Structure formats: structure tokens, C-alpha cells
């Protein structure tokens, strides 16, 4: 992963000596490893400390941060949540990193809550405010994106490939493939050390077999990224420099430095010399050098920056390098700026400090005189919700290459600007509630020629390259939804992008076409409805318009709520429906670690019995929930007991058990997300609940209810 090069690599001896020590000893060792960015090894010792510690929250938080640093995002999310539930001492930065993890996992609502929490703690946190604004206005990066096509390269593997650079008839790139004479792995994330690879280009996105760029070039640690100059006879390359840890015998840190390399024709090898401003106390990363070798851009965490890694520029005059100069606050932030690439008068770079779609995004900054203008986000499809970085292009800047983790792994991609008659068709794939649908398969057919066009999909989006004045049929398939087809005609005149949305409908559930309007309890704005096997959370300040059809559709009429109250018949006529019923449904709540019904609950449930007896085509879904204290497995069992208590009462009052659908969600669907805020006892009370949803069935349940006298 590209986070390898935010590393300060460390090799330690003698860690096995702690095998019989206490939790405190394990924690002390793990903290030392963490400080030196030895994250993979630290995880093992934090886990040992966790087993013996009575105070687990802060250890869980450290585990989350280890996984975040090594880019294991799903594991990071799991441990951040556990740390929050176990009262880990989150700093503002910890909450911000947790929010970034949630954004990359496409959990925007949870991320929004956390970023709000960060700003409540620190109103001056500019990065968090920018991230929250971007999260709430993410569509700007789709609307303002340049018209590019993007496709993956044939050189990609399950290892990381990134930092492409032009080299003769192909590309040289950096990869963590397990090849070469040395098999050691990085203690940063337990992945193989990086090497340079070369592949000859056959087409823009297809290449021949990748081979090690230069066997003799490889060291025992990281080699790469690199940038060539002087007609490929010279390069600047990243390699590790060793420094002994002060006060520790035989303990060394390996930090990336910058090296100048000249190809020796006689020896057919590269002669490597360290640059004079390397400092073993800091990392020097991601070189970008001009063809004449006089201007060098790079990233570094050296002292005096704005935070994280910053971008610097150094000038070589008469063969002598001047001191590196920070390019300034227009580009650099308190977070990470990295992978600079300067061409013409434009600096391209990656950053997670200027906001964007999530993770690292790629930006460009134009040079005016000696200063750089405010950065501009390149937008979708070059940027995604995952990390996007290390872009290179030529002087025309109509095409090039970059790296992205959008497919779950660092891969290389080719991008190209559209021709004059071409338009980038950009589609969103959602369900009827407007939520992005991941895992879809899309094909696009040209209506005139009946030919199929290659489609790029990225979770809830799809893109393809179309031509002006022509028509296409878009077909989207998903295992949980009906196949949707949509016609799209691209106008002869218009913008370089044509936007559309494909809405997927749920597969058949055998339901009658009926309408039910349900008012939520006063002061409550949340309900759950079923759609297939999934539970969709619907938020409304007022009423919920809920329709199920023979195809299993669910419909939330947000804009029709007020008019429905004033003139229900006109709205229903417009929808082609007839009113079937109206009722009030509210939650019931439980005491801590209890599943007992009180007298108020029983009075309410008796009213619910009357509704079910009035219309035998109704079924009732009961969703049980728990607060997040205690173990997850126990909370699942507790919420199940709560559902069973409600079910037992309804059955004892004459409701046929087959009409009741039972769901137990434990702590997984909180009304108030306590991992985002410190919950009060009242907040926890709102999470200990049973929720109710009425559903229509095709066949009326005809089995006779049990009479109270027969029980």
C-alpha cells in the first residue's frame, strides 16, 4: 500500500523476551513499537496485552490506529467501534481518523456524526470542517469532474502497484510483489519490501509481462519509487538509509531517503549516490525531477513543516543542490501531502488534508510566478472514495497513469481526456430510497450498431464513453434486485459529461399492491421497513409513506407527506394505489439487561392486537435491539429475548404466531450511535427497544386465532 512510504521503518531485536510478562509489559513494548511505526509487530503485542488487561478501551484504540496506519480499513473500523464502546480515550485526531475510515467504508451517516463530534471538541479544526462539508456536498466532485475515461492496467496483481513513471517504450512502477533475491517483509505492515518493475506498452492500458527493472539495483529493503531524467540515463530513487537508535544497542531505524543514480554503460548497472540533504531522522519520499535535473519536488516529514508529510522543492545549480524549501500552505496542510509530479506549470499531488471523496485524492495546483495557486480536486472518475495518488502525465496532459485503491488494492490505471465528439456518461446506481447500490454488474449497448461498450463500475457508480447524438441501452444487474434497463440519448450539444441515475427495484416478494401510512411516535423520527432480506432505515420528521407491490417495491414519498394529509385521494390516485389502512406505531423500551414488559407496554400491545385482528392480511415484524454495553453475542441473545417476550404476549392475546416475523439485531442498529458520542443513560434507554413494522401478505392468514378462553 502507498502508506508504506509514510513509514519510518524499524528493525528491533529481542522482542520474544516478553512472552511471559504482564499486560503492562506487553502494552509498554507495543507502545514502543507503535512510536517507531512498527505497526504489524505492535498488533500482536497489543492483542496479548488486551487479554490480560482490565481496562481494554485504550488498547483497542491502539489496535484500530495500527490497522488504519497499515490501510486495513475494515479491521480499523472494527477496533475503533470496540474502543468507543469500551470507553477508549479518543483524541480529536483519533475521532477524525475514525471518521475517515467510515467515509472509506461508505458509511456517510456515521462519519457525519463523528465529524460533528470532532468539531464540537475543536471548532478550529479546519481539516474536519472541510471533510464534513465535502461529505455533505460530495456531488460537487462528480459534477465538476473533468471528462476522462479510466481503465485498469493489465500489469495489476493482488500485490500493490503504484507510482508509475514513463520509461522508454513502457512504464516503470513500484510494487510489493514477492519476487527478487530477497524475501524479507516490512515490519510496517508485513508486506514484501518494494522493488521497481518494468513492462513494455502494447496499448495504452495493456502491457507485456512485468519484470524486475534491475536485479543489481535491489537492496534488502525498499527500492522505489523513482523518477527518470536526462533521457532515461539518470534517476532519483527512494531507498532506505540506516541509523542506529539513540540509547539502544544494535537497534536500527531504516528511513527512506533520496538517491541520485547514473546508469554506467560499461558496467550495465546504476551507480547510486545519496542526496546531500538526506537526514536519517526524517523520511524523504516520492521524487519528481525535471528532465534537465535541476528542479526536484519530493515529500518529507522533516521538521518545520505544516504537519504529516509536506511537499518540498530543491534547486540544483552548477551541480550543487540548494536547501529544500517547503512549497507553502496553499498546498501543504496539517495532514499528508505526497506523490508530487510537476510538469509544465502544474503541480499534481495527493492529499488527505484538502477534503474530497475520501482517503487520498489527487489535486493540481497551477504555478503563477513563484507561487502555487489554491489546489483543485480532479474529481471523479480519477478520484474515488478510496486512496488515489501518484499521477503522471505528459506535456499535453490529455492522458496518463495513476494509482488507486478503489478495487480494494493499490492498482494502476490509465486515464484519457475525451475527444471532441465524445462524452463521459456518468451514472449513479441506487435503490428506490436513493441509497448507493454496490456489487452491481452493468452493460451498455449501442442502439444503432448493437455493439456492447466497456463499462467501468465503482461501487454505486458506473461510467462509459459515449458519442454525441447517439443512443444507448444501459442494463444493470444485481443479485438482490430486479435487472433494470434504461435508455440514454446523448445530446449533440452540451457539457462533456452526461449524468443519469439507474434505480434498482427489489426482487419479487409476492406482495399485494397496497398502501399503508404510518405516523411515528411524537418526537421519534426513525422507523425500519423490510425490503427483501435487508432492513432499510428511513428518517422522516413527520409521516412515512410505505408501499409494497407484487414486485416487492418499497416507496418513501418524502414530498407527498403534507399533501397526503390534506387530500389523500389525489396523491393515491397519482400513485395508482388505494388506501388500505392507517395506524400509529411506536417503539417499546426495556430496562438495562431486561426483557420484561411493563403495564404500559401491555396496554400498547393490546392496541396492536386490535389492528392485526382488523386486517388479517397484515403481518407484524418485530425488531429487537440492545444498547452497546456488554459483548456483541450476548446483546444478540438479549434482543432476541425481548422479541420473544413481545411475541409471547401477542400470541397469548389471540394473534397467530405465523403472522409474526422476528428479528434480533443486538447492538448493530442503534437509535443513537454511542461510538460517536458519550451516551447518557437516557441515550442507552433509547437503544434498548423493540420496533414494529406492518407488512401486507398476498394470502390472508386463515388459521383461527386462539380464543382467550382456550389458553
- CA–CA separation, 183 vs 191, rounded Å? 10
Give the H/E segment covering residue 566.
helix 561-566
Give the range with max mean pLDDT: 144-153, 318-327, 600-609.
318-327
* Cα 353 to Cα 65, 68, 73, 485, distances in angstroms: 18, 16, 18, 40
Domains, in order of start, for the chain? 2-140 (1.25.40.10), 148-417 (2.120.10.30), 422-502 (2.60.40.2070), 506-576 (no CATH), 587-711 (3.30.1330.60)
Residue that the C-alpha cell 416475523 belongs to: 661
pLDDT tens column, 682-711? 888 888 999 887 776 544 444 443 333 333
Peptide bond into 165 cis (omega under 30): no
Sheet architecture: strand order including 543-548:
554-556, 543-548, 514-519, 579-584
The residue-averaged pLDDT of 487-492 equals 88
164: CB partners within 8 A, 6+ apart: 171, 172, 173, 390, 392, 401, 402, 403, 412
| Contact by Cβ (8 Å): 191, 147 | no
633: CB partners within 8 A, 6+ apart: none
* Cα 470 to Cα 106, 373, 376, 695, 701, distances in angstroms: 34, 39, 32, 44, 53
516's grid cell:
399503508
* Cα 345 to Cα 73, 311, 368, 370, 396, distances in angstroms: 36, 16, 8, 10, 12
The answer, yes or no, to whether residue 397 has pLDDT greater than 60, is: yes
Report residue 705: phi and psi, to 5°.
-70, 155
The answer, yes or no, to whether residue 576 has pLDDT greater than 60, is: no
pLDDT confidence tier of residue 204, bands split at 50, 70 and 90: confident
pLDDT tens column, 298-342? 999 999 999 889 999 999 999 999 999 999 999 999 889 999 999
pLDDT at 251: 57
Model pTM? 0.57
Residue that the C-alpha cell 527500492 belongs to: 223
pLDDT confidence tier of residue 145, bands split at 50, 70 and 90: low
Sheet architecture: strand order including 441-446:
452-453, 441-446, 471-478, 481-489
- CA–CA separation, 448 vs 473, rounded Å? 10
Neighbours of 83 (CB within 10 A): 25
Neighbours of 169 (CB within 10 A): 11
Neighbours of 86 (CB within 10 A): 16
- CA–CA separation, 147 vs 136, rounded Å? 23
| Per-position DSSP letters for 450-461, written without gaps between them | --EE--EEETTE
| Contact by Cβ (8 Å): 362, 397 | no
| Nearest residue to 661 via CA among 546, 528, 555, 549 | 528
The CA-CA-CA angle for residues 445, 449, 452, to 5°, reads: 30
302's grid cell:
522533516
The answer, yes or no, to whether residue 287 has pLDDT greater than 90, is: yes
The answer, yes or no, to whether residue 647 has pLDDT greater than 90, is: yes
- In the chain, % helix, strand, coil (3-state, to 5) comes to 25, 35, 40
| Nearest residue to 365 via CA among 411, 313, 314 | 313
| Contact by Cβ (8 Å): 504, 440 | yes
pLDDT tens column, 237-266? 998 876 665 555 665 667 789 999 998 888
| Nearest residue to 518 via CA among 698, 692, 700 | 692
| Contact by Cβ (8 Å): 70, 44 | no
- CA–CA separation, 235 vs 293, rounded Å? 9
The DSSP secondary-structure symbol of 169 reads T
Residue 677 or residue 270, greater confidence: 270
SS3 state of residue 104: helix
Residue 308 CA, chain-centre distance (Å), reads: 21
Q: Extract the runs of DSSP E, i.e. beta strands, from 129-249.
A: 148-152, 161-167, 170-175, 195-200, 211-212, 223-229, 234-244
Q: What is the mean pLDDT of the chain?
A: 78
Amino acid at each position: 500500500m502507498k502508506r508504506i512510504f509514510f513509514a519510518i521503518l524499524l528493525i528491533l531485536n529481542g522482542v520474544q523476551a516478553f512472552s511471559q510478562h504482564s499486560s503492562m509489559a506487553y502494552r509498554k513494548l507495543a507502545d514502543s513499537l507503535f512510536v517507531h511505526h512498527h505497526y504489524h509487530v505492535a498488533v500482536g503485542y497489543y492483542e496479548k496485552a488486551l487479554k490480560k488487561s482490565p481496562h481494554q478501551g485504550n488498547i483497542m484504540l491502539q489496535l484500530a490506529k495500527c490497522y488504519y496506519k497499515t490501510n486495513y480499513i475494515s479491521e480499523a473500523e472494527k477496533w475503533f467501534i470496540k474502543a468507543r464502546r469500551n470507553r477508549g480515550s479518543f483524541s480529536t485526531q483519533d475521532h477524525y481518523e475514525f471518521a475517515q475510515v467510515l467515509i472509506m467504508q461508505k458509511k456517510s451517516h456515521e462519519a457525519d456524526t463523528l465529524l460533528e463530534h470532532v468539531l464540537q471538541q475543536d471548532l478550529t479544526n479546519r481539516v474536519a470542517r472541510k471533510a464534513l462539508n465535502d461529505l455533505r456536498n460530495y456531488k460537487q466532485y462528480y459534477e465538476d469532474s473533468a471528462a476522462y475515461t479510466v481503465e485498469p492496467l493489465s500489469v495489476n496483481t493482488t500485490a500493490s502497484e503504484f507510482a508509475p513513471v514513463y520509461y522508454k517504450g513502457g512504464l516503470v512502477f513500484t510494487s510489493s510483489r514477492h519476487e527478487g533475491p530477497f524475501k524479507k517483509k516490512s515490519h510496517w505492515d508485513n508486506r514484501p519490501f518494494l522493488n521497481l518493475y518494468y513492462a513494455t506498452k502494447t496499448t495504452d492500458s495493456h502491457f507485456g509481462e512485468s519484470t524486475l527493472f534491475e536485479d543489481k539495483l535491489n537492496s534488502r529493503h525498499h527500492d522505489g519509487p523513482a523518477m527518470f531524467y536526462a533521457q532515461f540515463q539518470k534517476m532519483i530513487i527512494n531507498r532506505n538509509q540506516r541509523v542506529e537508535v539513540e540509547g539502544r544497542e544494535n537497534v536500527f531505524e531504516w528511513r527512506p531517503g533520496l538517491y541520485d543514480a547514473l546508469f554506467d554503460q560499461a558496467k550495465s548497472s546504476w551507480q547510486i549516490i545519496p542526496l546531500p540533504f538526506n537526514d536519517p531522522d526524517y523520511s524523504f519520499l516520492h521524487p519528481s525531477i525535471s528532465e534537465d535535473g535541476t528542479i526536484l519536488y519530493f515529500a518529507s516529514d522533516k521538521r518545520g513543516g505544516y504537519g504529516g508529510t509536506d511537499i518540498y522543492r530543491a534547486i540544483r545549480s552548477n551541480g550543487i543542490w540548494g536547501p529544500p524549501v517547503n512549497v507553502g500552505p496553499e498546498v501543504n496542510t496539517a495532514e499528508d501531502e505526497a506523490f508530487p509530479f510537476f510538469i509544465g506549470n502544474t503541480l499534481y499531488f495527493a492529499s488527505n488534508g484538502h477534503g474530497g471523496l475520501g482517503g487520498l485524492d489527487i489535486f493540481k495546483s497551477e504555478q503563477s510566478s513563484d507561487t502555487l495557486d489554491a489546489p483543485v480536486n480532479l474529481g471523479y472518475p480519477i478520484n474515488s472514495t478510496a486512496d488515489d495518488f501518484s499521477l503522471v502525465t505528459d506535456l499535453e496532459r490529455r492522458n496518463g497513469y495513476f494509482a488507486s485503491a478503489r478495487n480494494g488494492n493499490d492498482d494502476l490505471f490509465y486515464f484519457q481526456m475525451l475527444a471532441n465528439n465524445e462524452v463521459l456518461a456518468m451514472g449513479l446506481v441506487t435503490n428506490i430510497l436513493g441509497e448507493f447500490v454496490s456489487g452491481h454488474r452493468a452493460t451498455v449497448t449501442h442502439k444503432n450498431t448493437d455493439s456492447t461498450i466497456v463499462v467501468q463500475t465503482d461501487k454505486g457508480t458506473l461510467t462509459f464513453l459515449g458519442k454525441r447524438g447517439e443512443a444507448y441501452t444501459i442494463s444493470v444487474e444485481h443479485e438482490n434486485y430486479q435487472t433494470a434497463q434504461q435508455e440514454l440519448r446523448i445530446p449533440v450539444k452540451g457539457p462533456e459529461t452526461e449524468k443519469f441515475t439507474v434505480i434498482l427495484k427489489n426482487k419479487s416478494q409476492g406482495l399485494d399492491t397496497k398502501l399503508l401510512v404510518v405516523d411515528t411516535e411524537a418526537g421519534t423520527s426513525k422507523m425500519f421497513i423490510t425490503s427483501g432480506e435487508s432492513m432499510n432505515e428511513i428518517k422522516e420528521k413527520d409521516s412515512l409513506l410505505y408501499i409494497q407491490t407484487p414486485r416487492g417495491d418499497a416507496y418513501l414519498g418524502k414530498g407527498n407527506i403534507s399533501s397526503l394529509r390534506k387530500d389523500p385521494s389525489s396523491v393515491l390516485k397519482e400513485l395508482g394505489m388505494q388506501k388500505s389502512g392507517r395506524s400509529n406505531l411506536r417503539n417499546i423500551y426495556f430496562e438495562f439487561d431486561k426483557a420484561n414488559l411493563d403495564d404500559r407496554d401491555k396496554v400498547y400491545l393490546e392496541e396492536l392486537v386490535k389492528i392485526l385482528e382488523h386486517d388479517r392480511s397484515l403481518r407484524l415484524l418485530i425488531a429487537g435491539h440492545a444498547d452497546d454495553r456488554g459483548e456483541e453475542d450476548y446483546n444478540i441473545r438479549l434482543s432476541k429475548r425481548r422479541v420473544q417476550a413481545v411475541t409471547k404476549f401477542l400470541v397469548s392475546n389471540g394473534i397467530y404466531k405465523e403472522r409474526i416475523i422476528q428479528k434480533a439485531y443486538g447492538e448493530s442498529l442503534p437509535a443513537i450511535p454511542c461510538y460517536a458520542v458519550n451516551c447518557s443513560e437516557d441515550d442507552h434507554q433509547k437503544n434498548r427497544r423493540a420496533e414494529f413494522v406492518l407488512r401486507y401478505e398476498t394470502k390472508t392468514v386463515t388459521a383461527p386465532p386462539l380464543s382467550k378462553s382456550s389458553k
